[in-house]
Amino acid sequence: MTIRWKEMYKQKLCSPDEAAKLYQNDDVVIAPLSNGQPPALVNAVAKRIINGELTGIEYIAGVDTRWFDLYQPELEGKVLIDTGFLGPATRHWVGQGLFTYTPCRLGETVDMVVKCPREKPITIVSMVVSPMDEHGFFSTGCNVDWGWESAKLAKPRHIIVEVNENMPRTFGNNHLHITEVSAVVENHIPLVELPEIPLTKEDELIGQYIADMIEDGACIQIGIGGMPNAIAKYLRTKRTWGSTRKC
């Protein structure tokens, strides 16, 4: 069975330019947040748009930490960039009115892009994954978010993965099988890590105040920025659910 998955992997393995040929005019593309966005594939798609081979592409992602060729101001009117969570690469252009910002709660993003009535359906989901295991599964690693769930629920025409050996394999329900994937691209580049943000006095005070209200064993979601970092700093004294559970 392992040999079967390896052969299927080889058959679907292609260059970013070849995978970009799967895109069609007016496609709606979903990509995960941050490191889950596939840079080699996105830049190959941008090349097709620049060359006049594609038009009407809608790209939905968020927490954009890398600059992609797709974000060039010259492509205004040729591609719609829609971000649900502003990142360093898109914040300025959203402010300039070139990109679209659709604010949403993280837990509701999949419902927003998949279940809510849309003029155009989701047609392609693309994402970075860890290398395939012996059973033919890829892990979505540190980006188990709307990308993976959209791939499962939206029934897109294509699911395209960009394999990166630096994407960690994580446990839980976050995997894609080689049989679900239309194309595989390999791009082994370092993952992006945002620089440490210095905490202000206000961050420290508010962070400690909020952390004091969080009970041992709580399940929380921490955002990005000085305030969330301050909260996390003062959570170090808390006890996890596992350490408080009675046997």
Helix, strand, or coil here: 109? helix
Which residue has tokens 């300025």?
A: 92
What does the DSSP 8-state code read for residue 190? Answer: P
The closest alpha carbon to 52, from 92, 13, 79, belongs to 79
Tell whether the model's pLDDT for residue 208 goes beyond 70. Answer: yes
Binning pLDDT at 50, 70 and 90, where does residue 219 land?
A: confident
**Could you tell me which residue, 80 or 244, shows the higher pLDDT?**
80
Q: What is the pLDDT of residue 116?
A: 64
Q: What is the pTM of this model?
A: 0.84
First to last CA, the chain: 41
Q: What is the mean pLDDT of the chain?
A: 88
Contacts of 231 (CB under 8 A, 6+ apart): 207, 210, 211, 222
The closest alpha carbon to 80, from 69, 71, 88, belongs to 71
What is the token pair recorded at 166? 């630096």
Q: What is the pLDDT of residue 245?
A: 44
Query: What is the set of domains in the chain, with CATH numbers?
Result: 2-186 (3.40.1080.10), 201-244 (no CATH)
